[in-house]
Amino acid sequence: MAKPVLAELLRFIAANEDLPHALARYKGYSRDILGKLIDAAADRIEQAEEAAAGASAAAGSKGIKVRKVSEVERAARESAEDLDAAMNESKVERDRKKKERVVTAAAQREAERAVEARPVRTRLFTDGAARGNPGPAGAGAVIISPEGHVVAKIGKYLGETTNNVAEYTGLILGLKRAKAMGLRELEVLADSELVVKQLTGEYQVKADHLRPLHDEAKALMKGFDVIDLRYIPREENEAADEMSNRAIDLRL
């Protein structure tokens, strides 16, 4: 049986036409997706043609006339409605994503403004390392002036202990040095999420051996007029990491 003309035409369009106007009208749809939608419409029409042909043959045996074209028109109309619904849903989705992008961009700008507005203070980078956890461990800290100059480096070998103990110790060593230098305002940066969140109260201190270190760090932090404790990724904490590992290597 030859293919219905309309279905054949739609398949030709889906396979060969660039569809520039459709792509301009329905931004967010690729040429490939539009082609698939047109192919699907051709399938619907072809199925309707076959069903109509079958109905016509059956009716012919009974002497009943069937308007075959009406079935094709109905299938075409349904396919057009399906395509339009898909496009409308896509527009709703695109609008939603656009609103989300606007909100995200606004939040990002607000965060950037907050960073720019933050006073430039002396920064204390702290870290700890244990090879084996527990294993040979070291604590490190680096103090950087508001102008970006390194004003102090601290490293201490801790013997056999855990990574968490080493990270707490690195913080304590840094805080003690900053206090000895007479600093009153300090931005403290560490790559230990556990230490930062325990000190800010977001996590509880469940390990008994960390409680004394936690309490000592809290007490030292209270000795500053302004202190800002923040978590940073490990790659932004290379100087303190280097000091803690150097302490292990050299048994400082």
Per-residue pLDDT reduced to its tens digit, 206-242: 999 999 999 999 999 999 999 999 999 999 999 999 9
Containing domain of residue 58, as a range? 5-116
* Whether residues 173 and 75 fall in one domain: no
Helix/strand/coil percent split, the chain, to 5: 60, 15, 20
Parts of the chain with a pLDDT under 70: 1-5, 52-91, 94, 114-118
Same domain, 89 and 132: no
- Span between the terminal Cα atoms of the chain, in Å: 89
Tell me: do 80 and 44 sit in the same domain: yes
The reply to whether 11 and 37 lie within a common domain is: yes
Looking at residue 102, what is its pLDDT?
81
Within 13 A of 109's CA, how many CA atoms are on the CB side?
6
Average per-residue pLDDT in the chain?
84
Encoded amino acid at 114, one letter: A
Tell whether 74 and 57 lie within a shared domain.
Answer: yes
The tally of domains found in the chain comes to 2
Global confidence as pTM? 0.56
CATH number, domain with residue 195:
3.30.420.10
What pLDDT score does 176 carry?
A: 98
Same domain, 242 and 160: yes
Whether 101 and 149 map to the same domain: the answer is: no
The pLDDT score that the predictor gives to residue 64 is: 44
Domain closes at, from 52, 87, 116: 116
